[in-house]
Structure 1
Amino acid sequence: MADIEEANVTFRKSDVKVKWLAKERLSLLELAEKHGLKPDYGCRSGGCGTCETKLLKGEVYGPEGDLPDTILICSSQPASVEIELEL
Structure 2
Amino acid sequence: MKTKQRKEELLRLVDLIERLPVEVEINTARSSSHGGPELLLTSGLDSVAAVYALEIKERRYEDEHCTQRMAILDGIMLVQIVLDSEVG
Q: Give the shorter-chain TM-score range.
A: under 0.3
Say which structure is richer in helix. 2
Provide TM-score, normalisation by structure 2: 0.27
Radius of gyration: which is bigger?
A: 2
TM-score, normalising length: structure 1: 0.27
Relative contact order, higher structure (CA 8 A, sep 6+): 1
